[in-house]
Amino acid sequence: MPQRIFPVRNIALKDFLRTFEETTGLTVCLYDFEERAKASRALSVDSSSFLHKSPYCAFVKSTKPSYAICFKTDQEGLGAAVRSGRVFIKRCHAGLDEIVLPVVSRGKYLGCILAGQVFFSVPSAARKRRIIAHLKTLGLDGNKASSFIENARVVSKKGLANASNLLKLLAHFIIEAESKEEWEKELNSLRTGMKSGRGKFLAAGVANLKNARMKNIVDASVKELETAPPEKVTLGFAAKSAGLSKYYYTRVFKAQKGMSFRDYQNTLKIKRAGALMKDPGLNLSEIAYRCGYRDLSSFSRAFFRKTGSYPGVYRKVNFS
C-alpha cells in the first residue's frame, strides 16, 4: 500500500523540485501535506507526485518483505523527526541515507520533507557484501543489487544538510506566503539561481529565503496586533502568534521593521490614541486607558516623546 505523499500540480513548484533534484543529486519526498493541499489553491494537486523513486530504492521495494521493512523504517524516521521537532538523519535497511525534516508552522505540525536516497560515502567492499547478503534474504537478486549500489549517488553529509535546509525554508515560505504570485515568483527565481551555480546558490538561497519567510511571519503578527485589544499588544502575544520565542522574535522584528518591538508598541498606542481623539465624547483619561496606559501622566509623556506635543494641545490643534 503506497504511503501518503504530497502530489504536485503547480508548474512553478514542480519545476523547482525537479531542478533541485538535478542540481543536488538528492531525491525529494513530501509527506503528510495531503490535507493541506486540498484546502489550499497554492498547493493544488493532481496525479503527479514525488516518491522514493531512485532506481536503487525502487529495486529494493520490489519484493513484499523488503517493502515492508522500507515502510517501517520510513515511519520510524518520520516519527523520530516529529517527536524531536528537529532534522533527523536516517539510514534505510538497504544502506541509503536520508534527512527527514519536520515542517512546523506556529507550533503546528504540517508534514515532513525527506531528501536524500543517497550514500554519504562510497560503500566499502565489506559493507557492500553485507548489504547484498541482506537483500538476498528478502528475495532480491544479488547481481542487480550490486549494480544498483555501484551506480547510486554519493553526497556528503554537509551537502545533504545544506540542501535540506533550503527545502525546509522553502516549505515554510510556500505555506506562509500571502499570495500565489508571491511564492511562484520566488520559486522561479530560486530555480534560475540553482542552474547558474550550486554551492553559492545554496548558501545565498538559504539566507534570502529565510529573510522572506521572516518577513511573512513578522508582517502576519503585526497585522494581528493592529486589531488586537490593548492588553494583547505585548511581546508575549506577538511572539506566540508568530510561533517564535520572545528573544528570537525581537531580533527578527528589528531586522525586518528597522525598530525595536518596544518602539513599535509605543507607536501603535499613540496611533490609536490619535484616532480616538477624533471622538469628542472621550476624555483624555479614557483614551489613555483604552490605549493601554495606566494613567494620564504616563500617556502624556509617551505622546509627547512620539509627537513633540502633549495630548491636550494636539487634540485642540487637530480636532477642535
Residue 303 has pLDDT above 80, yes or no: yes
CATH architecture label of 229-319: Orthogonal Bundle (1.10)
Radius of gyration of the chain (CA): 27
| pLDDT tens-digit series, residues 29-79 | 777 665 555 555 555 544 334 466 778 888 999 999 999 998 888 888 778
Q: What is the pLDDT of residues 247-284, one digit of tens each?
A: 888 988 998 889 999 999 999 999 999 899 998 888 99
With a cut of 50, say whether residue 179 has pLDDT above it.
Answer: no
Strands (E), 158-216: none
pTM, rounded to two decimals: 0.56
- Where exactly are the structural domains of the chain? 11-196, 229-319
Q: What is the pLDDT of residue 63?
A: 93
Select the highest-mean-pLDDT range: 84-93, 235-244, 300-309.
Answer: 300-309
**Beta-sheet strand order (sheet of 108-118):** 27-31, 108-118, 97-105, 88-91
The burial class, CB within 10 Å (0-12 / 13-18 / 19+), for 50 is buried
The secondary structure of residue 42, as a DSSP letter, is: G
Q: Which residue has better confidence, 254 or 110?
A: 254
Other beta carbons within 10 Å of 237: 16
Residue by residue, DSSP assigns 222-289 as: HHHHHHS-GGG-SHHHHHHHHTS-HHHHHHHHHHHHSS-HHHHHHHHHHHHHHHHTT-TT--HHHHHH
